[in-house]
Amino acid sequence: MHIRVINPNTTAGMTATIGDAASRIAAPGTRITATQPASGPVSIESHFDEAISAVGVLDEVLAGEQAEVDAYVIACFGDPGLLAARELTRAPVIGIAEAAFHMATLVSTRFSIVTTLGRTGIIAEHLLEQYGFRHHCRRVRAAEIPVLDLEENGDAALARIIDECRRARDEDGIGAIVLGCGGMADLTATISREVGLPVVEGVTAAVKLAEALVGLGLGTSKHGDLAFPRPKPMTGQFERFAHLIPTR
């Protein structure tokens, strides 16, 4: 089984962190390929960043189709380009926020999210509504750290995340914590040990869900709105997407 884990930002160190975490959790026989777009934002912290990065995600899925990838993981907690990516392939495509929400509800009736910035916390609230998990989430909390601090000031960032997770445990009436950033992919065990609660991180959750879907023989439905996009002319920088033809 080959899973392509796409980091929608262009920071190579974060791609490596995400890939390492995915490889450690993957089952024997599962091959993980961690990739990132050739261009786009170095971190994703706004609706604007998500919109720009979604184009790079689609490029990475199309490249994966040529390599006959079995499943895809979009490793940003905003799940940028998720539904558009599903239109391009029959393979499962899983966003890490949706995966984390599902997993958290299997181990606890209530969870809180701890993310990086307050503004990205608002984006997480939108996703909770969209995916139908709002009533499971007690609170979305922000450690108020830029995403790149996870790479550049790792120890200080981890300390702030742990402090916020402890507050969530003590104040929110929850049974589990969801980490709200793909760059936190390698922090799960440490945070869980410090906080004493199940900690769900989306990259690793998405990899296991991808393995399960492939094992069950379940792919993205091509009936309805997730059918392949209708071929049509496109102009300018998007001409490469013109007349898309399914490869499998």
| DSSP output for the chain | -EEEEE-SS--HHHHHHHHHHHHHHSPTT-EEEEE--SSS-SS--SHHHHHHHHHHHHHHHHHHHHTT-SEEEE-STT-TTHHHHHHT-SS-EEEHHHHHHHHHHHH-S-EEEEES-HHHHHHHHHHHHHHT-GGGEEEEEE----TTHHHHSHHHHHHHHHHHHHHHHHHS--SEEEEE-GGGTT-HHHHHHHH-S-EEEHHHHHHHHHHHHHHTT-----SSTTSPPPP----GGGGGGTT-----
Say whether 195 sits in a helix, a strand or coil.
Answer: helix
Q: State the number of CA atoms in the 13 A half-sphere of 220 facing the CB.
A: 24
* 109 and 191 both lie in a single domain: yes
* 194 and 101 both lie in a single domain: yes
Examine residue 154 and state whether it is found in any structural domain, yes or no.
yes
Examine residue 61 and state whether it is found in any structural domain, yes or no.
yes
The pLDDT of residue 243: 80
- Residue 127, token pair as written in the block: 């996703």
The pLDDT of residue 248: 79
The pLDDT of residue 36: 98
Number of domains within the chain: 2
* 10 and 31 both lie in a single domain: yes
Beta pairing, strands 137-142 & 111-115:
parallel
* 101 and 184 both lie in a single domain: yes
* 28 and 117 both lie in a single domain: no
C-alpha 186/C-alpha 3 separation (Å) is 18
Tell me which residues of the chain have a pLDDT lower than 70.
none
* 190 and 147 both lie in a single domain: yes
- For the stretch 129-153, pLDDT in tens is 999 999 999 999 999 999 988 888 8
DSSP labels, 111-179: EEEEES-HHHHHHHHHHHHHHT-GGGEEEEEE----TTHHHHSHHHHHHHHHHHHHHHHHHS--SEEEE
Examine residue 246 and state whether it is found in any structural domain, yes or no.
no
Examine residue 84 and state whether it is found in any structural domain, yes or no.
yes
Examine residue 78 and state whether it is found in any structural domain, yes or no.
yes
* 86 and 110 both lie in a single domain: no
C-alpha 164/C-alpha 174 separation (Å) is 13
The set of residues, in sequence order, having a beta carbon less than 8 Å from that of 61 and lying 6+ positions away, is 4, 6, 72, 85, 88, 89, 93
* 213 and 142 both lie in a single domain: no
* 108 and 180 both lie in a single domain: yes
Eight-state DSSP code of residue 42:
S
Q: Give me the CATH number covering residue 66.
A: 3.40.50.12500
Dihedral sign of CA atoms 197, 201, 207, 209 in order: positive
* 177 and 214 both lie in a single domain: no
* 209 and 89 both lie in a single domain: yes
Structural domain harbouring 30: 2-95+205-241
Examine residue 226 and state whether it is found in any structural domain, yes or no.
yes
pTM for the complete prediction? 0.96
- Residue 44, token pair as written in the block: 């994703």
* 149 and 178 both lie in a single domain: yes
The pLDDT of residue 152: 83
Examine residue 153 and state whether it is found in any structural domain, yes or no.
yes
The pLDDT of residue 247: 78
- For the stretch 146-189, pLDDT in tens is 998 888 888 899 999 999 999 999 999 999 999 999 999 999 99
Examine residue 192 and state whether it is found in any structural domain, yes or no.
yes
